[in-house]
Amino acid sequence: MSHNDVVVEKVRNAIKDRALYLALLYRSFSKALPPDQVEKLAREAIYEYGRIKGQKDAGKVTSEEWVDKHVSKGSGAVFQSRIVKEKDRCEQQMTYCPLVEAWKELGCSQEEIDLFCDIAMEVDRGRADYHGIPWEISERMGKGDSFCRLVLKKERSPSLT
């Protein structure tokens, strides 16, 4: 096993731990609070985590810088990502998700996996919003799609008329 493979595996395991925290906290808090309230609060907390990650980026990040950093910091290998850069958008197409794998290993139902996945994506929503990047998540492995597609739209310059 190469050094890079060892690092990727260690990062995947750390992400799996984060997935387990989310699932177990959600289940535990749902015993004391209505599940819709737990979902709302979990989304708010993870969205804020995304905004904090955005603040830690060096200045405002463009959609192109976002996907470039995804690859350069090693996340591309962790999530087996394909990067697509087009005139109006950049995409991360991820074909492996350690979070989804952790939830499956925990025995979560498909409904739980879909919910936890969407809640976990709040980190990307918060970071993209912090940077003012229009975005959409058009596919998610957690809801049963074959890959996750995070689309980051490029800012358009105002037309001169």
Mean pLDDT of 126-131: 95
Per domain, the residue ranges of the chain are: 3-153
In tens, the pLDDT along 65-84 reads 999 999 999 999 999 999 99
pLDDT in tens, 90-119: 999 999 999 999 999 999 999 999 999 999
For residues 127-135, average pLDDT: 95
Instruction: Give CA–CA dist 154/134, Å, rounded.
Output: 7
Judged against a pLDDT cut of 60, whether residue 45 lies above it is answered with yes
- How much is the average pLDDT of 44-69? 94
Torsion angle, CA of 130/136/137/138, rounded to 10 degrees?
Answer: 180
Looking at the chain, the whole-number percentage of residues with pLDDT higher than 70 is: 96
The mean per-residue pLDDT over the stretch 125-132 comes to 95
Q: Mean per-residue pLDDT for 130-152?
A: 95
Q: Given this model, what pLDDT does residue 126 score?
A: 96
The answer as to CATH 3.30.1380.20 being correct for domain 3-153 is: yes
At residue 88, the pLDDT reads 94
pLDDT tier at 59, thresholds 50, 70, 90: confident
- Residue 159: the pLDDT is 46
Distance CA 42, CA 82 (A): 29
pLDDT tens digits, 9-35 = 999 999 999 999 999 999 999 999 999
40 CB-side CA count, 13 A: 5
How remote is the C-alpha of 66 from its chain's centroid? 12
pLDDT at 109: 97
